[in-house]
């Protein structure tokens, strides 16, 4: 096989066409390669030889140092680190225990705060109840005062009316006032305060009976009235007022305990239309005898002797 050979190029042969600027750059590269590169290579080789010598010296020095002497500082440092690690672990345990203690304390404080809050809620509830009870008491006290004042005004008006009625005079007194604090009764006559001490004995009894009459009316309860010897100390005028005004009207049921000298035949005949039943209590040496006579004849007059004779 024939070997192909490229014909020699002439010194002026053109291989690549480049611009003048690119040709200048190539020439600079060629100059640097021929001058600067060998110097840089020589410096690098010299530096390499120095480093190699230092490495050899270090290896020789290390070879001369004993292993124990080389490791002793490391061991000492390791033991120091172990001691520090033990101290830190102990500190960690202490801090962990302290954290548990503080956590327990915080939980107790939270529980205590919860209990205090519940107690405060209960106290506020109780305080509200106390305030409500106090307001209710004030309202009840106010209502009681108004009711007492109203009842006393009603009682005073009825007492004045009944006292005039029993004395059979419309102007016997002007009015009656009752103190709501002391319940003292004041009588006014002719526009002036009239002392009760100036009332006669009969008027005093009329005042007492009028008071009981007014009290029963103000109470509004249909209670029976029991009165003992109502006419014994009264004069004729007041006896007539008792028999005509009080006894027939005081209540639905009036029980009169009187003596035969107090209610004689004439008085009994006068009251007989309003009497439902009559009883005569006759005392003898053996026992007390109770006799009763029903009023079978409402329009007829029945005497005391007839009741005694015909009693069952």
CA proximity to 155, closest of 173, 172, 170, 176: 176
* 263-287 average pLDDT score: 76
What mean pLDDT, rounded, does the chain reach? 78
Q: Give the whole-angstrom CA distance, residue 74 versus residue 81.
A: 10
- pLDDT confidence of residue 273: 83
Region at 209 (left for phi over 0; alpha for psi -120 to 50; beta for the rest):
alpha
Reply yes or no on whether the pLDDT at 298 is more than 80: no
CA proximity to 217, closest of 276, 172, 157, 171: 157
Reply yes or no on whether the pLDDT at 209 is more than 60: yes
Reply yes or no on whether the pLDDT at 303 is more than 50: no
* 255-270 average pLDDT score: 83
The pLDDT confidence band at residue 234, using thresholds 50, 70 and 90, is: confident
The alpha carbons of the chain give a radius of gyration, in whole angstroms, of: 69
- pLDDT confidence of residue 249: 82
* 153-180 average pLDDT score: 86
* 120-145 average pLDDT score: 84
- pLDDT confidence of residue 286: 61
* 296-306 average pLDDT score: 40
Q: Per residue in 20-74, pLDDT tens?
A: 777 777 777 777 777 777 777 788 888 888 888 888 888 777 676 666 666 778 7
* 267-291 average pLDDT score: 72
Reply yes or no on whether the pLDDT at 151 is more than 50: yes
Q: Helices 67-166 and 201-219 meet at what angle, rounded to 10?
A: 130
Q: Per residue in 181-201, pLDDT tens?
A: 888 889 998 888 988 888 888
Bridge partners of residue 194, in order along the sequence: 187
Which has more confidence, 205 or 7?
205
Reply yes or no on whether the pLDDT at 12 is more than 60: no
* 118-133 average pLDDT score: 81
The pLDDT confidence band at residue 16, using thresholds 50, 70 and 90, is: low
- pLDDT confidence of residue 17: 67
- pLDDT confidence of residue 305: 39
Pairing verdict, β 277-283 and 254-257: unpaired
Percent of the chain at pLDDT > 70 equals 81
Token pair of 297, please? 């004849």
- 187 contacts 193 by C-beta, under 8 angstroms: yes
CB neighbours of residue 225 within 10 Å: 17
- pLDDT confidence of residue 15: 58
Whole-prediction pTM value?
0.48
């Amino acid at each position: 096989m024939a070997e192909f050979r490229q014909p020699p190029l002439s010194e002026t042969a053109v291989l690549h066409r480049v611009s003048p600027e690119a040709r200048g750059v190539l020439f600079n590269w060629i100059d640097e390669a021929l001058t600067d590169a060998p110097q840089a290579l020589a410096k690098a080789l010299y530096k390499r030889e120095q480093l190699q010598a230092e490495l050899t010296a270090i290896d020789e020095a290390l070879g001369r140092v004993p292993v124990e002497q080389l490791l002793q500082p490391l061991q000492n440092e390791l033991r120091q680190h172990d001691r520090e690690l033990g101290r830190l672990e102990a500190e960690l345990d202490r801090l962990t225990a302290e954290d548990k203690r503080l956590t327990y304390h915080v939980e107790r404080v939270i529980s205590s705060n919860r209990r205090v809050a519940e107690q405060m809620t209960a106290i506020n509830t109780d305080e509200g109840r106390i305030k409500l009870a106090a307001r209710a008491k004030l309202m009840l006290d106010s209502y009681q005062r108004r009711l007492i004042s109203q009842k006393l005004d009603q009682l005073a008006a009825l007492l004045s009316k009944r006292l005039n009625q029993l004395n059979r005079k419309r102007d016997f007194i002007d009015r009656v006032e009752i103190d709501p604090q002391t319940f003292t009764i004041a009588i006014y006559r002719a526009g002036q305060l009239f002392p009760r001490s100036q009332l006669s004995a009969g008027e005093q009894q009329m005042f007492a009976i009028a008071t009981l009459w007014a009290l029963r009316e103000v109470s509004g309860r249909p209670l029976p009235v029991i009165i003992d010897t109502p006419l014994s100390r009264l004069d004729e005028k007041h006896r007539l007022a008792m028999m005509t005004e009080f006894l027939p009207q005081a209540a639905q049921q009036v029980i009169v305990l009187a003596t035969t000298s107090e209610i004689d035949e004439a008085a009994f005949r006068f009251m007989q239309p309003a009497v439902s039943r009559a009883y005569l209590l006759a005392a003898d040496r053996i026992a007390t005898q109770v006799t009763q006579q029903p009023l079978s004849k409402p329009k007829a007059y029945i005497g005391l002797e007839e009741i005694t004779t015909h009693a069952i």
